[in-house]
Amino acid sequence: MKKIQNPVENEKKEWQKQKKQQTRKTWLTIFSPVFLLLIWQILAQLNFIDARFFPPPTAIISTFQELLISGELVHHVSISLFRIFAGFFLGVLPGVFLGLCMGLYAPIRHFLSPIVMALMPIPTLALLPIILILFGIGEVSKIVTIAGSVFFPVVINTVAGVMSIDSTYLDVAKNYGASRKDFFFQVAFPGALPVMLEGIQMGQAIALLTIVAAEMMGARSGIGYLIWSSYSAFLLKEMFVGLILISFFGYIFSLMLKMLERKLLPWR
Amino acid sequence: MSQNPKISIRGLTKVFYKKQHSVMALENISLDINEGEFVCFVGPSGCGKTTLLRILAGLESQSSGGFTIKKSGQQRPSQSMVFQEKGVFPWMTVAENIAFGLNMRQLPQSYVKERTNYFLVKTGLSKFADMYPKELSGGMKQRVSIARAFANDPEILLMDEPFGALDEQNRFILQEELLSIWTETKKTILFITHSIDEALYLSDRVVLMSAQPGKIVDEVEIKLPRPRKLHDIRSHPEMTVAFLQIWRHLQGEVQNARQEDERRM
Ligand SMILES: Nc1ncnc2c1ncn2[C@@H]1O[C@H](COP(=O)(O)OP(=O)(O)O)[C@@H](O)[C@H]1O
Ligand SMILES: [Mg+2]
């Protein structure tokens, strides 16, 4: 028997307990990267790891401050972010459009599928020399490289998203006389959206991988260039600043996409 | 049969052709249905009931024969279908789902809103208007499906085992609600069911279909006066006779099908 006889009071207690547990979990999530850095710091200070190769986080932080004050960091980060965003949208928008067309119209799908399948396995980075020849060494070539690698997961997931729509929904749309436009915007697009967003998540991750590699190979600016040039000059603290920034942005971007997903799919 | 039926089906035949062999799903179906009539279709599984409704719904085309649905002159769609399951769009709210047919017809928003609200109230869904279907029970979702079809104000309604996936309690409640809306709107309804009780309770006439090829083999008039009570179909002697007639038909069809299968093996 429970001591308190008020059932609402009981449920309230239960609810508060669950709320507390939720908060605790959130703290754990936040604490875990801090914990990793702490271990790293201690190991470096106790000389268990070589501080020349793995400088302690405090040293990296002060280098971070120096780079920030000199303005160098802002320059590299902003140019990289610009390339990522431009390339991302240039890959996502045609990917979604083409994916919807392929999913909805069988002739287009049958014609384009083999081409997409054949091109997909080629890493866009392997095409970088050709891209450089075609678009020069300016910004366009980096943006095109990112767009190229974002495009494929988005197309493929959008097609899969359309194909995954239950045929009953298509029947309902037809039975109630949906026009081509209404069918596209009210049934096909929202129906395909969940799987499409998975593709966009993947595209985002690939965009980050690609930018670093592309900037290492053919750029004079950006986070990738910072990493590569610091490494070449054996400035490992600077290199780690670049690496940690990449991981930070990757984390922020996936959080943003998760939030976007919750906004776009309230019905899930 | 009346002189001027609402639906007139003549010699409707449907063959599904696949590699090597073809399936005769419907053979020479001819049937007249009156304005405002509630007709149930009963038959063994695979006898073509769904196919018949899908042809009438314009989702499948017949191999030969034809049908006409009489227009009442107004700007009405000829039919709306209530699907067995999964007919409610998960990405639209309850209200948006109910308004779907009206919106597809580009009707003025004030009218769409008014009609949607009317059927939200009618089906007891007002409180859930802005919720998404994931928050609803199976019975609630079927209410949405039914409200959407009635709100669309079609000439006839096609229902393919709409309550087939519900538990008994919910089924009773929805049957009653359906009858109440039907009494009010006087729609012509074609309703497929597996349940003899359901057919007896709801319909004016039960059409019995045979297993492959699907044919109409008999009809049973249900003369029980309305409004009906659920227990009438148990206590009324005429209903017992009707029940047995339909039951024997189904038994016979199932046995025939089994013998047919054995002969083929
Ligand atoms: N799209 C289809 N392609 C091939 N055969 C089909 C198709 N739809 C239905 N059939 C066949 O037609 C027959 C009747 O099916 P159906 O109308 O679903 O029966 P019921 O609804 O009475 O159970 C079955 O033998 C079924 O296998
Ligand atoms: Mg069926």
* A180-204 confidence digits (pLDDT tens): 999 999 999 999 999 999 999 999 9
pLDDT digits (tens, 9 = 90+) for B186-218: 999 999 999 999 999 999 999 999 988 899 999
Q: For residue A102, how many C-alpha atoms fall within 13 Å in the half-sphere facing its CB?
A: 23
Cα(A67)–Cα(A70) distance, integer angstroms: 5
**Residues A85-97: pLDDT tens digits?**
999 999 999 999 9
B135-174: pLDDT as tens digits: 999 999 999 999 999 999 999 999 999 999 999 999 999 9
* Ligand 1 atom at shortest distance from the alpha carbon of B214: 14
Is residue A216 within 8 A of residue A227, CB to CB? The reply is yes
Q: Give dist(CA A88, CA A143) in Å, integer.
A: 8
Q: What is the pLDDT of residue B265?
A: 65
**Residue ranges of A 138-197 with Cβ closer than 8 A to chain B:** 166, 168-169, 171-172, 174-179, 182, 186-187, 190-191, 193
Calculate mean pLDDT across residues B55-83: 94
In the predicted model, residues of chain A with pLDDT beneath 70 are 1-4
For residue B2, the surrounding DSSP H or E stretch is none
Q: Is B77 in the pocket of ligand 1 (CB under 6 A)?
A: no
Please name the residues in contact with A216: beta carbons below 8 A apart, sequence gap of 6 or more: A224, A225, A227, A228
Residue type, B105: R
Architecture of domain B7-78+154-264: 3-Layer(aba) Sandwich (3.40)
**How many Å apart are CA A106 and CA A113, to the nearest integer?**
10
Beta bridge partners of B205: B39, B221
Separation between Cα atoms, residue A60 and residue A236, nearest integer Å:
9
Q: How far is the CA of B47 from the centre of ligand 2 (A)?
A: 8
Nearest-angstrom CA–CA distance, B20 and B67 = 29
Looking at the DSSP bridge assignments, the partners of residue B219 are B207
The pLDDT score that the predictor gives to residue A219 is: 85
Per-residue model confidence as pLDDT tens digits over B27-39: 999 999 999 999 9
User: Furthest-apart CA pair in chain A: how many Å?
Assistant: 79
- Which DSSP string do the residues of B41-94 spell out, in sequence order? EE--TTSSHHHHHHHHTTSS--SEEEEEE---SSS--SEEEE-SSS-S-TTS-H
Determine the atom of ligand 1 nearest the C-alpha atom of B18.
4
pLDDT in the model for residue A259: 94
Half-sphere exposure of A245 (CA within 13 A, CB side): 28
Q: Whose CA is nearest to atom 21 of ligand 1?
A: B50
Predicted pLDDT of residue A9 = 87
Give every CB contact of residue A193 below 8 A, 6+ residues apart in sequence: A161, A264, A265, B91
Q: Longest Cα pair distance anywhere in chain B, in angstroms?
A: 62
State the distance from the centre of ligand 1 to the C-alpha of B41, rounded, in angstroms.
15
Quote the ipTM score: 0.93
Which protein residues have their CB within 5 A of the ion that is ligand 2?
A: B 50
Mean pLDDT of chain A, nearest integer: 92
pLDDT score of A95:
96
Contact (CB<8Å) B91/A166: no
Structure token digits, residue B61: 């085309």
pLDDT score at B2: 56
DSSP A193: H
- In chain B, what percentage of residues exceed pLDDT 90? 81
- How far apart are alpha carbons B200 and A130 in whole angstroms? 75
**pTM for the whole thing?**
0.88
CB count in 10 Å sphere of residue A115: 9
Closest CA to B122 of B148, B156, B104, B154: B148
- Residue length of chain A: 268
In this predicted structure, what is the pLDDT of residue A4?
59
Q: Any idea where the domains of chain B sit in the sequence?
A: 7-78+154-264
Phi, psi of A2 (to 5 degrees): -80, 145
Domains of chain A, first to last: 68-264 (1.10.3720.10)
For residue A268, list chain B residues with Cβ-Cβ distance below 8 A.
Answer: 134
